[in-house]
Amino acid sequence: MRFLLSTLSLSYATRNKAKTFLTLLGVVVGVATFSAIRGAQSTLVGGIRSTVDRMAGKAQLQIAMEGGVPEELTETIRELPGIRSQSPVIEQVVVPERGELGSILVLGVDLLGDREMRDYSFEGDDADLDDPLLFLAQPDSVAVARPLAKRAGLKIGDPLVLKTSRGLRTVKVRGLMTPKGFAEAFGGNLIVMDVFAAQDLFARGRRFDRVEVRLADGTTLEEGTRTIEKAVGPAYRVETPDRRGAQLEKLITNFVAGFNISSGFALGIGTFLIFNSFAVAVNRRRRDIGTLRSLGATPRQVMLLFLVEAAVLGLVGGVLGLLAGASMSQSFLKLMEQTSEQVFGIINASEAHIDGTLAVQSVLLGLFASLVGAWEPSRAASRIPPTEAFAKGSFQAKRGPLSKPRVIGGLALFGAAIAFTFRPPFGGNPLILMVMGLCVASVAMLASPASQALIDRVAPFAARISPVAGRLAADSLMANPRRTSGTVIATTISIGFVLGLGGYMGSTKASMLRWMHDVLTSDLYVRASANFTNPDSRFPASFREELAALSGVRSVESYRGMRITVDGEPAMLGTIEVPLMMKRVKHDFLQGNDESMLRGLSERGEVGVSDNFHRLHRAGVGDKVTIATPSGTVSFPIAAVFRDYTNDRGTIFMDRSVFLRYWKDDRVDTYDVNLISGADIGKVRDEIRVLVGGRMPALISTKREFVSEIGKAVDAFYSLVRITVFLALGVAFLGIVTSLLISVAERTREIGILKALGAVRAQIARSVALEGVALAVVGYVLSLPIGLLIAYFMETTVAEVFAGWRMPHQTPWGLLTELAIALPLVSALAAFVPARPAARTKVTEAIEYE
């Protein structure tokens, strides 16, 4: 075997460096994408937990409430039995004016007593922090973690400018912390300041983000939780840091699920690339195989030879892919972190790393993908009879197995994929893998006969386009079905994935844009915070009257959103003056109607729920939603179900009056300002700016700007999927290019014969390019049903399983057009480039090729 490897395999690899490199590249891209996404994903999830744990320090319980914990709560729990200590906390991620320093986590703590919760390590020149009086007396005092101070070149007494919701604010470094324990959280990009100064800096009013509790010796977590819950009421969450970390993880479940799908896609395409490369390699080396068989090699030995080659390629590709993935994962992680912060308000900053398990998994996946890809070609190679192997050109002309069982089997698999799409027997990742696997298998079985049938019909057209080059291309396509089908399959599967993912994203965005067009109909939106889901500041309720008093303003609505838990699952609560909102909003109702919504919410204290809440919680009109409020646990009847894309975990809407009655918190996230007809929007906006100037942070957007900003948040959510689509597209093109390069190389002998018969170089190059275009068109046409099925599967089944949404299908015309233009161009180029040197080869050399 060693002899065979060194003489046959190594010699082939040396003679065909470009092809070997491209095959290797397939493994590398697949493994790199997989390991980068998985590495970033696990770091993100682990980082969230780690940040929560490290920040919590010795705290055993955390008390939190949406909208913040009022200061008075600390008095309520101060004297409770079993409480050893308590400490209020404010947590805020800020961007410094010097953007190159990255996001910084500012932790506001009560420096007088926080050492009970966290270990501080102040050493060296930071003795000033040993004077807490000076630190406390100056509200701009901060202690900076040393790694950050080092990168920023900060020392005691230096100013640091931070971008806050109130504009640029300067803080002064009055202490340095050695990274240890909690100071390592957020990747060491951490600043500590006094919690009361943080309240002012970040416009928290008289509230904290949470209160941390350490229990007295002998008090169990259950006892402590029970005691606190009894004292503070059901509106507060009393949970361990670990549970809080788990809850945060839950919030990003759907976001993370997208990565699994993306990495699966990347690996799937990579595997097929290998399959294709090996299939062509086997075809090219059939004379070698024939020689081996004549010299006594058994079919088993031949198969083993190719599998060992694949294993070597897989291992090398796996290791290289792992290295490439490790370097890519930090960029992916940054993207994920930005999204998790922007969309979910979850903070994290970690250095991406690929742990040992993932490294082994990645290399093994490269190996496995290579073996899977090479299995069938290896089997085919082992079965080539020596006589056939030595007959030049006979194999290429041989038609692939067009057996009925193969076609029926392929159709059955595709039918099963459709059936699972419309009636999924189970959910989650297994369902996705099942449907994708069925799609790939069906394409593998059907693409060859389908492409042959298509080529038989397309080829004559090529002959009509160009009398010489076109006829040559048509003859070649029809005469070499086995070779061409490989390229077609590569194109079909790759473009199918791209169309599926891209189509899904297109439908999702189009649905959301349409929904925003129906719902966001106010003229101006005045927001207190740039963060949509977890605002870091809010307006006082009284501000509504001031806005309403401005000339040109017809009405003002007060929107307040809040993250809540229903049946242990996270959900969103949206509150607004429903009668006012109903006058301008057009809802798409699944259950109920405008009348039941208006009367139910504004007169009977009921709630409306989003379509995804309805599906995720199996609750509709006639059911009740139970919510823990500061006034106790309340069951709200559902008055209507309507399409809504506010939150991927479901949204409950109630009238503001009901919210105020139960929550007794009148602060507002966003004022929706409606103007009288003909009012000058710019002028009213300027007046609002004057009104808020210096008093409170405010972002004032027109309808168009607001929709655009939300659109950006949606884009952020799908940013990584979008990258994966591009990667898949890249891999798809790589597959096509590989196939065509190998295909052209295979035709060297044929090209020599053509030259001998009088064909000129340009004609040969054009014919090869034309052939490439024809192959791309066939692959493109065949990819349409598979791509649209995948898109539909994602829009309905997958979206519903994860988020409860069913996205109305939108045919991705834009993407289809782009691919229709790009694909033939890339294919023509991929065929033309190697065809030119092939056409220059001497006739005698070319005829002897193989």
Partner 1 sequence: MNRQGAGVVVLAFLAAVPTARAEDARKLLVESEARHRTKSQQYAGDLTVVAKDGKVRKKAWRSWREGYAGDAKLLIRFHAPPEVKGVSFLSLGRPGKGPDQWLYLPSMKRERRIATQDRDASFVGTDFNYEDMEEFDQSKFAVSLKGDETADGQVCWLIEARPEENAGKSLYEKKLLWLRKDILFGVRQDVFRKGEKEPAKRLHLSDVQQVEGHWVAKALEMTDLKKGSRTTILLQELAFDRPQPAGRFTLQNLNREGGED
Rounded Cα distance between 405 and 828, Å, is 35
Measured in degrees and rounded to the nearest 5, phi and psi for residue 284 equal: -70, -30
Rounded Cα distance between 12 and 2, Å, is 15
| Min separation Cβ 536 and partner 1, Å | 19
| Min separation Cβ 175 and partner 1, Å | 12
Which residue number, 84 or 250, has a Cβ lying nearer to partner 1? 84
The residue type found at 408 is I
| Min separation Cβ 232 and partner 1, Å | 17
Which residue number, 136 or 696, has a Cβ lying nearer to partner 1? 136
Residue ranges in contact with partner 1 by CB under 8 A: 74, 78, 84-86, 110, 112-113, 115-116, 127, 130-134, 136-139, 196-197, 200, 214
DSSP 8-state secondary structure symbol assigned to residue 426: S
Which residue number, 130 or 686, has a Cβ lying nearer to partner 1? 130
DSSP 8-state secondary structure symbol assigned to residue 809: P
| Min separation Cβ 127 and partner 1, Å | 6
Which residue number, 115 or 554, has a Cβ lying nearer to partner 1? 115
Rounded Cα distance between 64 and 580, Å, is 32
| Min separation Cβ 59 and partner 1, Å | 12
The residue type found at 660 is L
Which residue number, 84 or 406, has a Cβ lying nearer to partner 1? 84
Which residue number, 196 or 332, has a Cβ lying nearer to partner 1? 196
| Min separation Cβ 136 and partner 1, Å | 6
Query: For the chain, what is the radius of gyration of the CA atoms?
Result: 32
| Min separation Cβ 157 and partner 1, Å | 12
The residue type found at 257 is A
Structure tokens at 597: 């919504």
Rounded Cα distance between 309 and 11, Å, is 12
Which residue number, 136 or 324, has a Cβ lying nearer to partner 1? 136
| Min separation Cβ 197 and partner 1, Å | 7
Which residue number, 85 or 178, has a Cβ lying nearer to partner 1? 85
| Min separation Cβ 630 and partner 1, Å | 23
CB atoms within 10 A of CB 382: 22
Report yes or no: 199 and 207 within 8 Å, Cβ to Cβ: yes
Report yes or no: 668 and 528 within 8 Å, Cβ to Cβ: yes
Which residue number, 133 or 757, has a Cβ lying nearer to partner 1? 133
| Min separation Cβ 133 and partner 1, Å | 4
DSSP labels, 338-356: HHHHHHH-----------H
CA dist 249 to 212, 425, 427, 447, Å? Answer: 20, 26, 19, 41
Which residue number, 112 or 408, has a Cβ lying nearer to partner 1? 112
Report yes or no: 283 and 396 within 8 Å, Cβ to Cβ: yes
| Min separation Cβ 122 and partner 1, Å | 12
| Min separation Cβ 332 and partner 1, Å | 42
Rounded Cα distance between 593 and 595, Å, is 5
Q: At what angle do helices 719-746 and 481-519 cross, to 10 degrees?
A: 160
Which residue number, 134 or 760, has a Cβ lying nearer to partner 1? 134
Report yes or no: 509 and 791 within 8 Å, Cβ to Cβ: no
Which residue number, 136 or 541, has a Cβ lying nearer to partner 1? 136
Which residue number, 126 or 800, has a Cβ lying nearer to partner 1? 126
| Min separation Cβ 135 and partner 1, Å | 9
| Min separation Cβ 512 and partner 1, Å | 43
820-827 CB contacts, 8 Å cutoff, 24+ apart: 820/780, 823/491, 823/495, 823/736, 823/776, 823/777, 823/779, 823/780, 824/772, 824/773, 824/776, 824/777, 826/733, 826/736, 826/737, 826/776, 827/491, 827/736, 827/740, 827/772, 827/773, 827/775, 827/776
Q: Identify the three-state secondary structure at position 630.
A: coil
- Which residue intervals of 635-702 are DSSP H helices? 656-663, 681-692
Q: What angle do CA 753, 759, 761 make, to 5 degrees?
A: 105
Which residue number, 84 or 514, has a Cβ lying nearer to partner 1? 84
CA dist 815 to 217, 410, 764, 818, 823, Å? Answer: 63, 27, 32, 5, 11
Structure tokens at 824: 């033939």
